[in-house]
Amino acid sequence: MAQRVSPAQIEEIIDKNDIVSVVSEYVKLKRSGSNYTGLCPFHNEKTPSFSVSESKRLFKCFGCGKGGGVVQFIMLAENLDYLGALKFLAERAGITLNFSENNDRDDRQKVKNDVLSLNNRAQQFFREALTRSDAGKAYIAKRGLTPETVVKFGIGFAPDDWSQLTTTCTTGALAVPQELMVTAGLALKREKGDGCYDRFRNRVMFPIFDEMGKIVAFGGRVMDDSKPKYMNSPETPAYNKGSHLYALNFARKSGSKRVIIVEGYMDAIALHQKGIDWSVASLGTSLTQGQARLLKRYFEEVFIGYDSDSAGQDATVRGLEILAAQGLKVYILDLSSVDASVKDPDEFLRKHPPEDFMKVVDNAASLVEFKIALAAKTSPPDSERTLPDFLRQVVKIIAAEPSASVRTLYIDRVAETYGIDSFSLREDVEARIASGAELTDERAVNAYRRVKYRTDNASAATGPEPEAAAAQKAELSPDGLRLNKLEKRMLIYLVSNPAEIPKNIDRCRTDFCFEDNKKLANEIHLWYINGYAVSRDMLLAGCSAELASELTDEFEQVGPRATAEEIMKNIEKFRFKYEYGVLTEKLKNAGSIAEKSGIMKELNALIARSRPRK
C-alpha cells in the first residue's frame, strides 16, 4: 500500500511553513494592502500579477491562473508530487514525518470528527438547558450579557446533575459510546464500577471554537465563589489548548490588523459586546508558538489586556516574547491609567464606556517599556543595593532591540525616568551588543552617583541664575565673547584628548569665568575619575539647546594641531582683557569714593596677577 501522511500532520506542516516566508524564498514580494505581490515565478511577466494572502494562506497568479496553498506552491516551484512537497516542507520546518498505510479511513481523523460532532450535540444540550435554568439566566443578566451576545457565542448551561448530558448523548437513535464521551472530555470515568459521569455541572457553559468556527471544546464557569472558578475541557483529538484562541473565529473577520488578547471568556465577550470585535482570549497567561502563528496569520499588532492580579509574570513575559519573535508588534494595556480600582477588561467595561477603553489602547506600553517597568518593580533603581540588578536587566532588554534609533529612544527614556546617565547606559548597551559584557556593580553605582551630582548641583546658588546668565551674555564685550568661546574650546580639546584631562581640568574648574563652562568642566572631571569614556557627544548631554549650539560652533575650531598650552595662554590673555574692561566700566559708573576705592584695589590686583612671575 502507498505511504500516507495523516491529516493532523499535514495541518502541522502547513502551520509551520508560513506561506509568505516560503514564497519569499522564490519571489521578491512587496506588501500591497493586506496581501503581498510580486512577479510570477511560473511564467514571464513584467507587471506583477502574482498575489499571496497571509491570512488565507493562499497564492494566486492572475496572469497564468496558477494558485493554491503552500504545498501546491512547492509542488510547482520544485517540480515535486504532493508527498514530495510535504517531505520538502517537513524538512524545512524540522518535522519528522510519520507515515501510515493508505487505509480507507484514518482512525485518528475519524475520532476527531466524532468528537466534533458530539461537541455540537453537547452545545445544543447546554443551550436548551439554559432556557430552563432560572439561575443560569439570572447570572447572565447579572453579567450584563444581551440575548444577541448569548446567541453569538453559543452560551449555555450545564445542569446541576451528575449524568444528564451523558444519558442524553448515550441513549436514543443517535446514541454514542460512553468511551467517546470520555474521549471528548465531556465525561469522566467512575473510579468505582462501570460507566461515567458528567464533567460539567451547575456551570454557565462557553463553547470554544477553532478559527473556522468549529466547536472543539468547552469552558464552564461557576455562578458563585466555589472552586474551581473555571473548568475547561482537557486536551482531546479535536482540542489542543496551545493551538486555539477563544473568539478568534469572530476577531479574524473584523478587518482589523490589531488584536486585543485578554485572559478569560468574559473579558473577550465583554469587548465584543461593546463593539471591540478584534479581541480574543488566551484562556490563561502562557502564550504558545502555535497561538502566535495563528495571530500572525491575521494581525500585525497585539495588545495584551491581562488581569492586573495575574500570577506568573515571568510566564507572561515569555509569552509576549514569543509573539514578538513572530514579527508582531506587542503592546501592554494598563487599565489603572484610567481606573485603578478595576482588575480586568470585563469589570472596566461595566463601569466605563468603550471610548475610555480605547484611550487605554492608545496609551499602551510597548513590550520593551513593559519589561523595563517590571525590572524597576522587582529591582528598584532608587536604591544603590538594587540599582546594579535593575541596570543589568535594562541593558539586556534594550540591547535585544534590533533598531539603533529605537535603542536610543529607550536609553534616553530610561535616563529621564529613572535618573540614569544616558551616556553610561549607551556604552553598556553597546558593550552588551558587541561582546555580551555584563555590567559591574561599581560601574552601575557610579552612573547613579553621577546623575545625583547633576541633580544636586542643578540649582546650586554658585553664580547667576539662568535668566541672569542669559542677560550677562547678552551684555558681553567683544573680549568677553571671545573668552567664552575660548573656554568652550578648551573643554572640547579635553574631551577630544582625554589624556590631557588630569593635567588641565583643575585649572578649568577654578579659573573659568563663565558658570556654564565651569559646570561642564566639573562634569568632565567626574566622568574621568569614575572611569567613563569621555567624548564630544558626552559634552552635549544635559545641555540646553543654546549651550549645545554654542559648543557645536566651536567643534571645528579645535584642529589636530591645537594644544592645551596655546588655548590656555589665549584664555589668560582674554580673561585679563575681559575682567579689566568690566572693572573699568564699573569704575566709570561708581558713585561714592569708597566704591571707587574698592574697584581700584580690584584693578591693581588684576594687573599684578597678569605680570610674568620672576
Identify the CATH number of the domain in which residue 51 sits: 3.90.580.10
CATH of residue 546: 1.10.860
Q: Are 70 and 22 in contact (CB under 8 A)?
A: yes
Rounded Cα–Cα distance for residues 199 and 181 (Å): 10
Phi, psi for 342 (deg, rounded to 5): -100, 155
Mean pLDDT of 187-205: 92
Maximal C-alpha separation, the chain: 124
Rounded Cα–Cα distance for residues 250 and 213 (Å): 8
In a domain, 302, yes or no: no
Mean pLDDT of 194-206: 94
List the domain range (segments joined by +) for residue 172.
Answer: 106-239
Q: Are 534 and 495 in contact (CB under 8 A)?
A: yes
- The whole-number pLDDT of residue 123 equals 96
Q: Which of 74, 101, 128 corresponds to the end of one domain? A: 101
- The whole-number pLDDT of residue 446 equals 63
Q: Each residue of 76-98: b (16+ CB within 10 Å) or e?
A: bbeebeebebbbbbbeeeebebe
Rounded Cα–Cα distance for residues 206 and 246 (Å): 10
Does the pLDDT at position 108 exceed 80? no
The answer to whether residues 594 and 528 belong to one domain is: yes
Summarised one tens digit per residue, pLDDT across range 549-604 is 777 777 767 777 778 888 998 898 888 888 888 888 888 888 888 888 888 888 88
Mean pLDDT of 397-422: 87
Q: Are 268 and 306 in contact (CB under 8 A)?
A: no
Long-range own/partner contacts, residues 558-566 (CB < 8 A, 24 or more apart): 558/489, 558/492, 558/493, 558/496, 562/489, 562/493, 564/490, 564/493, 564/494, 564/497, 564/500, 564/503, 564/504
The answer to whether residues 22 and 86 belong to one domain is: yes
- The whole-number pLDDT of residue 360 equals 94
Please compute Rg for the chain using Cα positions: 36
Mean pLDDT of 509-531: 84
In a domain, 56, yes or no: yes
Residue 257: DSSP 8-state: S
Burial of 343 (0-12, 13-18, 19+ CB in 10 A): middle
The answer to whether residues 506 and 544 belong to one domain is: yes
Please give the sequence-ordered ranges of beta strands (E in DSSP) within 43-114, or none if there are none. 50-53, 58-61, 67-68, 99-101
- The whole-number pLDDT of residue 121 equals 95
Rounded Cα–Cα distance for residues 88 and 93 (Å): 9
Residue 104 pLDDT class (50, 70, 90 cuts): very low
Does the pLDDT at position 506 exceed 80? yes
Q: Are 240 and 259 in contact (CB under 8 A)?
A: no
Does the pLDDT at position 345 exceed 50? yes
Does the pLDDT at position 152 exceed 90? yes
Whole-angstrom CA distances from 247 to 236, 244, 265, 445 are 19, 9, 8, 49
The answer to whether residues 524 and 498 belong to one domain is: yes
Does the pLDDT at position 234 exceed 80? yes
The answer to whether residues 470 and 602 belong to one domain is: yes
The answer to whether residues 16 and 85 belong to one domain is: yes
In a domain, 407, yes or no: yes
The answer to whether residues 91 and 112 belong to one domain is: no
477 vs 213, residue with greater confidence: 213
Phi, psi for 239 (deg, rounded to 5): -135, 125
- The whole-number pLDDT of residue 227 equals 86
In a domain, 397, yes or no: yes
In a domain, 292, yes or no: no
240 vs 3, residue with greater confidence: 240
Nearest to 196 by CA among 173, 172, 174, 169: 169
Nearest to 112 by CA among 225, 243, 14, 220: 243
Does the pLDDT at position 163 exceed 60? yes
The answer to whether residues 445 and 492 belong to one domain is: no
The residue count for the chain: 614
Phi, psi for 129 (deg, rounded to 5): -65, -30
State the chain's mean pLDDT as an integer.
Answer: 85
- The whole-number pLDDT of residue 431 equals 83
The answer to whether residues 442 and 474 belong to one domain is: no
Rounded Cα–Cα distance for residues 311 and 301 (Å): 24
Count of other CB atoms within 10 angstroms of residue 609:
12
Rounded Cα–Cα distance for residues 184 and 178 (Å): 10
Summarised one tens digit per residue, pLDDT across range 167-179 is 999 998 888 999 9
Q: What percent of the chain has pLDDT over 90?
A: 40
The answer to whether residues 212 and 114 belong to one domain is: yes
Rounded Cα–Cα distance for residues 565 and 513 (Å): 18
In a domain, 511, yes or no: yes
Rounded Cα–Cα distance for residues 178 and 197 (Å): 9
Phi, psi for 31 (deg, rounded to 5): -65, 135
Rounded Cα–Cα distance for residues 454 and 577 (Å): 32
Which of 159-163, 436-440, 576-580 is most confident? 159-163
Q: Which of 239, 267, 301 corresponds to the end of one domain? A: 239
Amino acid identity, position 321: E
Count of other CB atoms within 10 angstroms of residue 115:
24
Mean pLDDT of 275-293: 88
- The whole-number pLDDT of residue 464 equals 44
Nearest to 262 by CA among 280, 277, 250: 280
Its pTM stands at 0.65
Summarised one tens digit per residue, pLDDT across range 29-70 is 998 888 899 999 999 988 999 999 988 889 999 999 899 999
Q: All 3 cell numbers of residue 356?
A: 475610555
Does the pLDDT at position 187 exceed 90? yes
- The whole-number pLDDT of residue 477 equals 82
The answer to whether residues 140 and 73 belong to one domain is: no
In a domain, 583, yes or no: yes
Rounded Cα–Cα distance for residues 554 and 559 (Å): 10
3-state SS assignment for residue 355? helix
Summarised one tens digit per residue, pLDDT across range 353-369 is 999 999 999 999 999 99
Under 8 Å CB-to-CB from 74, ≥6 apart: which residues? Answer: 22, 80, 85, 88, 89
Q: All 3 cell numbers of residue 145?
A: 450579557
Does the pLDDT at position 351 exceed 90? yes
Mean pLDDT of 446-472: 50
Q: Each residue of 536-555: b (16+ CB within 10 Å) or e?
A: eebbbbbbeeebeebbeebe
Residue 448 pLDDT class (50, 70, 90 cuts): low
Does the pLDDT at position 613 exceed 60? no
Mean pLDDT of 534-562: 73
Does the pLDDT at position 164 exceed 60? yes
In a domain, 209, yes or no: yes
The answer to whether residues 139 and 212 belong to one domain is: yes
Summarised one tens digit per residue, pLDDT across range 461-504 is 344 445 545 544 556 788 888 898 899 889 989 988 888 898 99
Distance of alpha carbon 427 from the chain centroid = 22
CATH of residue 188: 3.90.980.10
Whole-angstrom CA distances from 479 to 252, 525, 536 are 72, 27, 26
Chain position carrying cell 454557565? 204
- The whole-number pLDDT of residue 463 equals 41
- The whole-number pLDDT of residue 184 equals 95
- The whole-number pLDDT of residue 285 equals 63
Q: Which of 407, 429, 457 corresponds to the end of one domain? A: 457
Summarised one tens digit per residue, pLDDT across range 6-22 is 777 888 898 889 999 99
Number of H-type helices and E-type strands within the chain: 28, 18
Q: How many domains are there within the chain?
A: 4
Does the pLDDT at position 312 exceed 60? no
